[in-house]
Structure 1
Amino acid sequence: MELSRKLSLIDSMHREGINARYLSKLKKCDVFGLDPRFTTIINTEIIARKIKNQLRELQRRTMSGIPKLEVIVKFLNRVFIISLLQAIDLDGFSLELLIFRLSQMTGIEFRPGLAARISERSELMQEDDIVLIQPKVKFLHMVPYQQGVALFHQAMGMIYPAGITSAAEKQQNITSNSQQIINMLEQAEERFAQAIQSKPDDFEILTHWGMLLSLRGKSNFPHYQTTWFKNRKIMSEEKVKANYDNEPYRNEEFVVNYKDPFNAEPRPERLIQSFITPTEHFYVRNHAPVPDIDPDTYTLKIDGLVENALLLTLNDLKTKFEKVTITAQLQCAGNRRTMMSDYKKVKGVGWGIASLSNGTWSGCRLRDVLLAAKILPFETGAYHACFWGLDFGCPEDNGLPYGSSISVEKAMDINGDVLLAYEMNGKTLTRDHGFPVRVIAPGIIGARSVKWLDKVTVSNEESTSFFQRRDYKIFHSGIDWHNIEKFWDKNPSLQELSIQSAICVPAPNSRLYLPFTIFGYATSGGGRKIERVDISLDGGESWDYAELMGEDKGPVNKYWAWTLFKYTIKSIKADKATNIRLMCRAWDSASNTQPKEVKDIWNLRGVMNNSWHYVDVTVDPNTAKL
């Protein structure tokens, strides 16, 4: 780059397409005349950034994204020599600093002593002078930085809430929310530290990080200091106590599997009474107290790897984006866990066969919202859509709200039908089901359809929530709680549902008279259609087809709803009351079917139990007498 005396340093840099925000901050501080070392730093930085841009251009021209080693070495030898020649005309330049900055900016690790050999001995760089090439994603720092900013401002909003002026009220507010403040600021500090590692020269990141660290020193926020630091040790030793005094009304018919947080399923016979499950009978899976959210002040944040971070009101979601309605079943990954636990004890809420339900959902497409936020290209690392709820108090995650994520590929698929839903079964969402806004990610385990949605962050990594990293994963039967820790990060998080079916009627241990009819449900993941359900009356030795009741959309993978089935038995080969094991198994459009034995899929979390379902009954061959 040629520096002209007629142009300022910043203008010269902009002419070359170099982002000079960082250097402009230094210029405003008027430091150049105070210390000649700054001239060396700036001159070297200009050259380093120009080389970085040219290396990126080399990457773009290379199919794999990483040029051959010999190409990089040849290119760098040229620029190092040119840089040394230009240094004669510059007031200050450091080849050692240049190589150091290139390593930070490009991810190329150089062998120690390279600068001295080139400048002192005039030796050319060799291929073995490059120890490692680890290309950096341009926007990698944005994910943790914007997460940190959101957490920081959220904490500040709780420390100094609008509308509270009394010192006593402020102190009371901080005391009651101190655990949440602690968690938010600790997470913010971690995010800023990660961002600095990816982009150590970013002025904005340094500014926010400095503001946060000032709270941990002398602090400009005395109320925060006295609440946080005095109580931190005490609160870290106590279990987070969630408040369940403001829970919504629930149907008394529910089978309650856990009271606080509330986890309940309908009676199995309720499931097959209608294709759409009435809201009052829809299963409930909560991880914390149900938040009571004011729809008039609610806002949804969209950030991360996007060009245009958004803050959307409920009205924005309803008026600025197309309203879409889909029919989809939601199903807990722990459905039928009790049957797995009957074989061998597992850990988790004891669900029967009814931790699923089928409903209609209305809202806007997540895809449309991310397009409005100008989501960055996949190549920049925009791999995951991470969701955070407003349900603070999850005991498994030290009081944090529930979080999870899906792939950006699913989120951006026009046929993937991922919604930010605000209506359920034609009416406003109820509190138990995520009011005012929740995610509906059809075809995927229910754990990814986050309720009471607070934020969507596009990230290069999946959600850091406990429920994404340390839950909802399948391990083989040799893994138990004594050796699981080293396997958590090696196993993928569950996404698409397995094929599943269960008999809802008759109930186990019923005494039946001929004729009688079996009723049940069948589901599959990924939008795959249920093609058939088989029924056996002899333990799986022989099978017959059940009659299906479901949608017919043609040859597409958009079958998000369940399929109900029935099978009528008019006779049996017996002349007296006989014990019979009724069994079902389903097949989908990809020819997936269910495994026979629960022992073959047992896992210590008891998830994705889709073995053949059976019901033991007694059948009297005589016709029922009225």
Structure 2
Amino acid sequence: MPSKVVETEHSVEEPLNCEPDIAELIKNFITPKGNFYDRNHGPIPHLDGETHTVQVDGAVETPIIITVKELQEKFKSHTVIAALQCAGNRRHTMRTEIKEVQGIDWSDGAVFNAVWRGPRLCDILNHAKIKLPPDLDWKTNPDAAHVQLACYATETQEDNWYGSSIPLARAMRPEADVILALEMNGEPLTPEHGYPIRTVVPGVAGARSVKWLDRITVSTSQSSNFYQVHDYKVLPPEAVDRESAQKFWHSTPPIEDMPVNSIIAVPSSGEKVELDADSKVEVRGYALPKGEDGPVVRVEVSGDEGETWVDAKLSWGGMDKMEGEGGERLKWAWCLWEAHVVVQPGRGRRIWSKATDSRGNVQPQEGQWTLRGVCYNAYGEAKDLEVF
């Protein structure tokens, strides 16, 4: 593909994968540099934005090759506030609370909230003119057609390129806000986060928001890349190891919408906590809606293992109060929350949180185990607290 790699950091064997301190992460509604999580399957390519291009092909009337400059000048830019979340966020909790899983031992920090800007993917595809059989019902059948997204700039641990795909029906809905992001938080993307172009697919597992994008293909089939076919799927409980998982990979759909979720960042498990003047504990965290069903409308917190619950105060960094904004603009964002709850003094205390989004999806008490440790969304919890 026509992507010039200027410099490379990290290796296929040891790609950059890290997450921030969770208490630091929730200090800002819009996550600043230094607090992003990094998830990579290979080296970080340092691309030349002046020469980088994206090829659009497949089932289109006019295959095209677009430069970054053309994306900026020929297509209207669109701003999206969206949380990007790894499918394996909270994997450590699944591993320790239920049983062993495969994958990087993410805690609760494989997520961040950012302001993304770039042209809508549907505008690019309309420019290329989709050409599919007229009897193919792709607008209402998400399995009928797909948009394959790829980066051929560097090899990965399990393949010699990285690819993913989303239903064409999602890509073509303007309200789904799928964009080719050129900016993050008002600045050009960093190399670690996809410079010069990445896709951002709000509400969907971060694996679909392909970094260093260089090819878009409209097809009646999903991407054939390893990470679309053999990863990022909620396998059935019968898949207990690599061998038993093999028969399920092709029959299990890829993860798209992430589930409603919340976590407790403060206090952290095992911490000594002093009661405040009202004999309560201050509790803070973040919450995320399910897929397209945002924003979060309620977070409840319990200091007595679910006997009683109090409503947390939700915050969108003041953006919910901006004129002309509100819930629709923030449907893809996380919210930060704070509550003060009664917790009895003593050892071994625990605090729970549960979120509800605008479509009524409620975070469950227990999470579903899956071999790859993805989509864990049991109650947020701070446990083994010593309260005095």
Report the TM-score, using the length of structure 2 for normalisation: 0.89
Offset, 1:246: 3.3
Deviation at 1:414, TM superposition (A): 1.1
2:299 paired residue among 517, 524, 533 = 533
Deviation for aligned residue 1:584: 0.5
Pick aligned residue for 1:352 from 97, 104, 107: 107
Look up the match of 2:379.
612
CA–CA separation in structure 2 for the residues paired with 1:572 and 1:527:
32
Which residue does the alignment assign to 1:317? 71
Supply the distance in 2 between the matched residues of 1:352 and 1:579 (Cα, whole angstroms): 21
Larger CA Rg, structure 1 vs 2:
1
Q: 1 CA distance for matches of 2:58 and 2:135?
A: 12
Q: For 1:597 and 1:527, locate their aligned partners in 2 and report how far apart those are by CA, in whole Å.
A: 21
Q: Give the Cα separation in 2 of the matches to 1:311 and 1:591.
A: 43
* Structure number with higher strand proportion: 2
Do the aligned residues in 1 keep the contact of 2:238 with 2:244 (CA within 8 Å)?
A: no
Question: Are residues 1:362 and 2:117 paired?
Answer: yes
Rounded Cα–Cα distance in structure 1 between residues aligned with 2:49 and 2:326: 39
| Superposed counterparts of 1:534-573, under 5 Å | 534-550=300-316, 552=320, 553=325, 556=328, 559-569=331-341, 572-573=343-344
Distance 1:558 1:607, change over 3 A: same
Structure 2 residue aligned with 1:422 = 182
List per-residue Cα deviations over 1:255-294 (Å, max 9, x = no partner).
Answer: xxx9811111110011111100002211111111011211
For 1:460, give the aligned amino acid: T
1:230-309 matched pairs, under 5 angstroms:
246-247=8-9, 260-309=14-63
Q: What is the SS of the residue equivalent to 1:292? A: strand
Conservation of the 8 A alpha-carbon contact between 1:434 and 1:451: yes
Do the aligned partners of residues 344 and 281 (structure 1) sit closer, same or farther apart at CA in structure 2, a change above 3 Å counting?
A: same
8 A Cα contact 1:279 1:425, kept in partner: no
The one-letter code sitting in structure 2 at the alignment partner of 1:293 is L
CA distance in 2, matches of 1:491, 1:468: 11
What is the CA–CA distance in structure 2 between the aligned matches of 1:573 and 1:465, rounded to whole Å? 52
Q: Which residue of 2 aligns with 1:487?
A: 248
Distance 2:375 2:94 in 1: 10
**Partner SS, residue 124 of structure 2:** helix
Shift of residue 579, structure 1, vs aligned partner: 3.4
Q: State the Cα deviation string for residues 554-597 of structure 1 (Å, max 9, x = none).
A: 5649601101100024x5445xx443201111111221112212
The structure whose RCO (Cα within 8 Å, separation 6+) is larger is: 2
Native 8 Å contact 2:81 2:330 kept in 1: no
CA offsets per residue over residues 346-376 of structure 1, 9 Å max, x none? 1111100000000011111111111110112
Q: Deviations over 1:180-230 (max 9, x none)?
A: xxxxxxxxxxxxxxxxxxxxxxxxxxxxxxxxxxxxxxxxxxxxxxxxxxx
- CA change 1:588–1:527 in 2 (3 A) is closer
Partners of 1:423 and 1:557 lie apart in 2 by 18
Structure 1: how far apart are the matches of 2:348 and 2:106?
A: 26
The Cα of 1:480 is off from its aligned counterpart by: 1.9
Structure 1 unmatched runs, 5+: 1-153, 162-242, 249-257, 621-626
Q: In the alignment, what sits opposite 2:213?
A: 453
Which residue in the other structure is 1:581 paired with? 350
Is this contact kept in 2: 1:289–1:391, CA < 8 A?
A: no
Residues 138-184 of structure 1: CA distance to partner in whole angstroms, max 9, x if unpaired?
xxxxxxxxxxxxxxxx5xx89xx9xxxxxxxxxxxxxxxxxxxxxxx
Q: Does 1:603 align with 2:375?
A: no
Give 1:326 deviation, angstroms.
1.2
- Measured in 2, the distance between the counterparts of 1:539 and 1:261 equals 40
Partner in structure 2 of residue 386 of structure 1: 148
Q: Residues 556 and 324 (structure 1 numbering): CA distance in 2 closer, same or farther, change over 3 Å?
A: closer
Does the CA-based 8 Å contact 2:55-2:66 persist in structure 1? yes
Distance 1:493 1:572 in 2: 41
Q: Residue in 2 aligned with 1:128?
A: none
Return closer, same or farther for 1:618/1:416 CA change in 2, 3 Å cut-off: same
Tell me how far apart the structure 1 counterparts of residues 344 and 54 of structure 2 sit (CA, whole Å): 62
Q: How does 1:57-136 map to 2 (within 5 A)?
A: none
Q: Spell out, residue by residue over 1:66-107, the C-alpha distance to the aligned partner (whole angstroms, 9 max, x if none).
A: xxxxxxxxxxxxxxxxxxxxxxxxxxxxxxxxxxxxxxxxxx
User: 1-side partners of 2:313 and 2:90: how far apart?
Assistant: 23
Q: Determine the structure 2 residue equivalent to 1:514.
A: 275
- Give me the whole-angstrom Cα distance separating, in 2, the residues matched to 1:297 and 1:362: 20
Amino acid at match of 2:356: W
Q: Distance in 1 between matches of 2:288 and 2:153?
A: 29
CA distance in 2, matches of 1:401, 1:334: 21
The one-letter code of the counterpart of 1:561 is: A
Instruction: Name the count of aligned residue pairs.
Output: 365
Q: Secondary structure at the match of 1:263?
A: coil
- Partners of 2:211 and 2:375 in 1: CA distance: 21
Question: Structure 1 length normalisation: TM-score?
Answer: 0.56
Please tell me whether the aligned partners of residues 343 and 349 of structure 2 are also in contact (alpha carbons under 8 angstroms).
Answer: no
CA separation in 1, counterparts of 2:47 and 2:85? Answer: 25
- 1-side partners of 2:153 and 2:107: how far apart? 25
Q: Distance in 2 between matches of 1:378 and 1:472?
A: 30
Q: 1:449 to 1:514 in 2, by over 3 A?
A: same
Partner Cα separation in structure 2 for residue 302 and residue 612 of structure 1:
42
Q: Looking at secondary structure, tell me which structure has more helix per residue.
A: 1
Residue 308 of structure 2 aligns to a residue in which SS? coil
Q: Distance in 2 between matches of 1:328 and 1:291?
A: 24
Equivalent residue number for residue 142 of structure 2: none
Q: Report the secondary structure of 2:306's partner residue.
A: coil
**Structure 1 residues 524-582: Cα deviation after superposition (integer angstroms, max 9, x where no partner):** 2114221111101112222111111125455649601101100024x5445xx443201
Contact 1:502/1:613 (<8 A) preserved: yes
Match of 2:141 in 1: none
Structure 1 residue ranges, 4+ long, deviating more than 6 angstroms after superposition: none
One-letter amino acid of the counterpart of residue 104, structure 2:
V
Aligned-residue offset at 1:449:
0.2
Q: Deviations over 1:236-271 (max 9, x none)?
A: xxxxxxx9x8328xxxxxxxxx98111111100111
Q: 1:464 to 1:558 in 2, by over 3 A?
A: farther
Answer yes or no: is the 8 Å Cα contact 2:262–2:288 preserved in 1: yes
d(CA) in 1 for partners of 2:35 and 2:347? 34
Secondary structure of 2:381 counterpart: strand
Contact preservation (8 Å) 1:497, 1:526: no
Q: Residue type of the partner of 2:21?
A: R
Aligned 8 A contact 1:416 1:558 in 2:
no
* Cα distance in 2, alignment partners of residues 572 and 358 from structure 1: 30
Q: Name 2:158's counterpart in structure 1.
A: 396
Q: What SS does the corresponding residue of 1:485 show, helix, strand or coil?
A: helix
Q: Structure 2: how far apart are the matches of 1:586 and 1:469? A: 31
| Distance verdict in 2 for CA 1:362–1:476, change over 3 Å | same
Q: Distance in 1 between matches of 2:298 and 2:366?
A: 20
AA at the equivalent of 1:589: S
Assess if the C-alpha contact under 8 Å between 1:419 and 1:441 holds in 2.
Answer: yes
Counterpart of 1:430, as a letter, is: T
